[in-house]
């Protein structure tokens, strides 16, 4: 196995274009990365496979202990916590699968989808399109942005927070039913088309409607049948007496825990300064956060260096394992007054607090403390 792949182009089409980098400081950041002696865009397959193998082994081993342990045994709770932690890390690799090039690491993509995506009902074809839409200038921070938290929860609004929490609770069930009932979507072409556009994305934003290309149709079909069989297997094994009925709430608890961890991360990816209209690229980046300190909650909610989230939005094709060294290079290369350096936040809670309570309430809370 090779440890590196051939170098990518320094900046891919999904990263930046001339219109988007009008701000001088962004041009300066781009220049610093592209002129570095280190090729930060080079993927290390060994790192991808190592992180995947470790996460897969730890997740499934701890999940097995949790599921087969006597109910209420003392080791079941720590096994559950370990399983949720490692399943979240394993699932987070869907983000890295999404940003690999179309013909890059094809075996890795297929393996991740078969062993992780299908088994957890989160295959990458249900993520890639909406995640790339989130990165696009056409959609970022608008009402259709599928990953902008302001579109699913209003800061400081208790009713909105309660509704959002309830949606988090039912989301694993909705995903399960989406795949279990997949054959029914072929009963009528209009039903199938609606399902592809409105019910084939792992997003909380109900206003989002994905574009369906011929490639999307093929990729969805490739995993949908396997996910249907996986979803069907859960109740089937109970009916056949192989598993106890308690397996369903136990699996739901695991799914809910991983969804919860991911939603905690989304609370602090961005400042949510957008008003629903399109913004220029500079505002897009200034709305994003980097986290360089090692506080426990930041490390928990941001696996695989995706805590360098503003840098990731500057260069979406930078491999996750190069985000930290690329950031260090920028800190050493850029002038001290570069706006890029102001993107660093103290920790997850300082941004998540503003998302939950609103900037004014969060400021009052900080002042009182």
In order of 193, 237, 279, the CA distances from 231 in angstroms are 22, 11, 40
For residue 265, give the nearest of 168, 341, 339 by alpha carbon: 168
pLDDT of 40:
96
Alpha-carbon distance of 310 to 307, in angstroms, equals 8
| pLDDT score recorded for residue 213 | 92
Share of the chain above pLDDT 90, in %: 87
Is residue 75 in some structural domain? yes
Q: Does some domain include residue 92?
A: yes
Q: Report the distance separating Cα 60 and Cα 49, nearest Å.
A: 16
Domain contains 1: no
Does the pLDDT at position 362 exceed 90? no
pLDDT of residue 361: 54
User: Model confidence over 331-351: pLDDT tens digits?
Assistant: 999 999 999 999 999 999 999
What whole-number distance in Å separates Cα of residue 240 and Cα of residue 222? Answer: 28
Q: What is the pLDDT of residue 218?
A: 94
For residue 18, the model assigns a pLDDT of: 39
Q: Decide if 279 is inside a domain.
A: yes
- pLDDT at residue 358 in the model: 85
Instruction: Please indicate, yes or no, if residue 12 is contained in any of the structural domains.
Output: no
Q: Which residues lie closer than 8 Å to 285 by C-beta, 6 or more apart? A: 26, 310, 313, 314, 343
Q: Is 139 helix (H, G, I), strand (E, B) or coil?
A: coil
Residue 184 domain-assigned? yes
Does pLDDT of 95 surpass 80? yes
Q: Is residue 241 part of a domain?
A: yes
Question: For 75-94, how does the pLDDT look when each residue is reduced to its tens digit (9 = 90+)?
Answer: 999 999 999 999 999 999 99
pLDDT at 72: 87
255-297: pLDDT as tens digits: 999 999 999 999 999 999 989 999 999 999 999 999 999 899 9
In a domain, 254, yes or no: yes
Whether residue 24 has pLDDT greater than 70: yes
Concatenating the DSSP letter of every residue in 139-170 gives TTTBTT-TT-GGGT--TT-HHHHHHHHHHHHH
Give yes or no for a contact between 281 and 137, defined as CB atoms under 8 angstroms apart: yes
Interior angle at CA 9, CA 5 and CA 13, nearest 5: 125
What token pair was written down for 258? 């991983």
Both structure tokens of 292: 């360089």
Q: Can you give the residue range of the structural domain that contains 212? A: 24-363
**CB under 8 Å to 15, separation ≥6 — which residues?**
314, 315, 316, 317
Number of folded domains that form the chain: 1
What is the per-residue burial (b if ≥16 Cβ within 10 Å, else e) of 289-314?
bbbbeeeeebeebbbbbbbbbbbbbb
How do residues 157-211 score in pLDDT, each as one tens digit?
A: 999 999 999 999 999 999 999 999 999 999 999 999 999 999 999 999 999 999 9
Which residues on neighbouring strands pair with residue 270, listed in sequence order? 288
Q: What is the pTM of this model?
A: 0.91
CA distance 51 to 92: 11
């Amino acid at each position: 196995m090779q440890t590196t792949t051939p170098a990518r182009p320094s900046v891919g089409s999904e990263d930046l274009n001339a219109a988007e980098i009008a701000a001088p400081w962004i041009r300066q950041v781009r220049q610093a990365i592209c002129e570095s002696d280190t090729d930060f865009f080079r993927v290390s397959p060994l790192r991808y496979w190592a992180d995947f193998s470790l996460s897969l082994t730890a997740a499934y081993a701890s999940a097995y202990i949790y599921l087969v342990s006597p109910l209420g045994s003392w080791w079941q709770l720590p096994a559950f916590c370990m399983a949720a932690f490692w399943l979240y890390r394993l699932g987070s690799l869907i983000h890295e699968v999404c940003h690999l090039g179309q013909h890059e690491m094809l075996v890795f993509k297929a393996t991740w989808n078969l062993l992780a995506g299908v088994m957890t009902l989160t295959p990458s074809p249900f993520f890639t399109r909406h995640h790339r839409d989130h990165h696009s200038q056409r959609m970022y921070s608008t009402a259709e942005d599928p990953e902008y938290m302001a579109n699913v929860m209003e800061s400081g609004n208790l009713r909105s927070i309660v509704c959002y929490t309830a949606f988090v609770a039912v989301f694993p069930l909705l995903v399960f039913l989406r795949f279990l009932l997949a054959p029914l979507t072929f009963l009528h072409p209009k039903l199938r088309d609606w399902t592809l556009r409105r019910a084939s994305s792992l997003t909380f934003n109900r206003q989002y409607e994905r574009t369906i290309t011929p490639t999307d149709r093929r990729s969805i079909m490739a995993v949908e049948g396997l996910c249907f069989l996986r979803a069907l297997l859960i109740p089937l094994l109970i009916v056949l007496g192989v598993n106890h009925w308690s397996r369903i709430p136990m699996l739901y608890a695991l799914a809910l825990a991983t969804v919860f961890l991911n939603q905690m991360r989304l609370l602090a990816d961005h400042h949510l300064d957008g008003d629903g209209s399109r913004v220029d690229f500079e505002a897009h980046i200034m709305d994003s956060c980097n986290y360089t300190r090692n506080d426990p909650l930041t490390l928990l909610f941001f696996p695989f260096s995706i805590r360098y989230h503003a840098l990731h939005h500057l260069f979406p094709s930078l491999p996750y394992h190069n985000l930290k060294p690329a950031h260090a290079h920028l800190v050493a290369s850029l002038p001290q007054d570069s706006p890029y350096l102001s993107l660093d936040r103290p920790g997850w809670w300082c941004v998540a607090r503003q998302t939950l309570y609103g900037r004014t309430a969060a400021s009052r809370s900080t002042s009182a403390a």
